[in-house]
Chains A and B, each alone.
Chain A
C-alpha cells in the first residue's frame, strides 16, 4: 500500500531563512509525487510534481523538491522564506487513480 509521511506538523522559519518541509513515501513501484499548498479557506494548489523525468523538480513560487530513491524522500525546499509562504503544505503520492496525502505541515514565517 502507498503512504506518505510528513515529519513535523508545524514548522516555523524566519523571513529570509531556508524552508525545508520533509516528506517520505512508501511505494513498491516508482511513485508519482506531488507537493500542494493550501492557504486559509482555499483549495489545494499544485506546487510541483515528480514524474521521473528529473530528480530535482522546480515548482511555482521559488519552491523545489528533490526525489531521493535511496532515502524514499521528496523534501520541499525554498532558499528564502517570504511572509506570503505561510500556509499548509501537503505531500501526496499517486498510483493509478488512487491518491494518498500526507497529514500536512503548517508553515509559519516569522518577520
Chain B
C-alpha cells in the first residue's frame, strides 16, 4: 500500500534561518505531489505542485521554493525564513488526474 512520510513533525526556527522540509511517498510511482500551508484556524493554501521530476509549479510568490530531485521525493526550502512563514505545512500526493489527494501528517513550523 502507499504511504507518505513528512518530517520533521515540529520545527522551531529563528527568523532568517534556512528551511528544509522533506516529503517522500512509498508504494507508487510518478505521483503528483503538492505542498500546502495552513495558517492557524485557516484553510489550505497551495504553495507548489509537481507532476514529475524537476517539473514544479509555484502558486504563490514568496520566499519559499520546492524541488523534486527524485520521483517520490518533494522538498520545501527557504534560504531565509520570515515570521509570516509560521504555519502547518502539509504534503500530499495523487495517483493521477481526478484522483483524491492523500496527505502526510504535516510539519508544525514556528518562527521565533
Q: Smallest CB-CB separation from B108: which chain A residue?
A: A41
Q: Smallest CB-CB separation from A43: which chain B residue?
A: B103
Q: How far is the CB of A44 from chain B (nearest CB, A)?
A: 4
Interface range on chain B: under 10, 10 to 19, 20 to 34, or 35 or more? 20 to 34
Question: Given contacts A90-B44, A103-B43, A104-B43, is CB(A97)–CB(B106) below 8 Å?
Answer: no
Q: Report the count of interface residues on A (CB-CB < 8 A).
A: 22
Interface of A is mostly: strand
Q: How far is the CB of A7 from chain B (nearest CB, A)?
A: 14
Q: Assess the B98–A46 pair: CB atoms within 8 A.
A: no
The interface residues of chain B lying within 8 Å CB-to-CB of A99 are: 34, 46, 101
The interface residues of chain B lying within 8 Å CB-to-CB of A104 are: 43
Q: How far is the CA of A104 from the CA of B77 in the complex (A)?
A: 27
Q: Assess the B49–A97 pair: CB atoms within 8 A.
A: yes
CB within 8 A of B43: which of A32, A95, A101?
A101
B 66-94 binary contact with A (CB < 8 Å = 1; else 0): 00000000000000000000001010101
